A and B are shown apart, each in its own frame.
Chain A
Amino acid sequence: EAEVAQSPRYKITEKSQAVAFWCDPISGHATLYWYRQILGQGPELLVQFQDESVVDDSQLPKDRFSAERLKGVDSTLKIQPAELGDSAMYLCASSSGGAGELFFGEGSRLTVL
Chain B
Amino acid sequence: GENVEQHPSTLSVQEGDSAVIKCTYSDSASNYFPWYKQELGKRPQLIIDIRSNVGEKKDQRIAVTLNKTAKHFSLHITETQPEDSAVYFCAARTSNNTGKLIFGQGTTLQVKP
Contact = CB atoms under 8 A, between A and B. Distances in A.
Contact of B103 (A44, A48, A97, A107): A44
Interface in A80-105: 91, 97-99, 101-105
Determine the main DSSP class of B at the interface with A.
strand
A55 interface: yes
A42 B104 contact: yes
Contact of A102 (B4, B42, B101, B105): B101
Interface string B70-113: 00000000000000000001010100011111111110000000
B43 A104 contact: yes
Interface residues of B, number: 23
A56 B93 CA distance: 13
Given A43-B89, A43-B103, A98 B98 contact: yes
A102 B103 contact: no
B106 A48 contact: no
Interface residues of A, number: 24
Contact of B105 (A33, A41, A103, A104): A41
Interface in A38-63: 40-45, 48, 50, 55-56
B16 interface: no
Contacts of A68: none
Interface of B: 4, 6, 32, 34, 42-46, 49, 89, 91, 93, 97-106
11 contacts: A40-B106, A43-B44, A44-B103, A48-B98, A50-B98, A55-B97, A91-B44, A97-B99, A98-B98, A99-B99, A106-B42
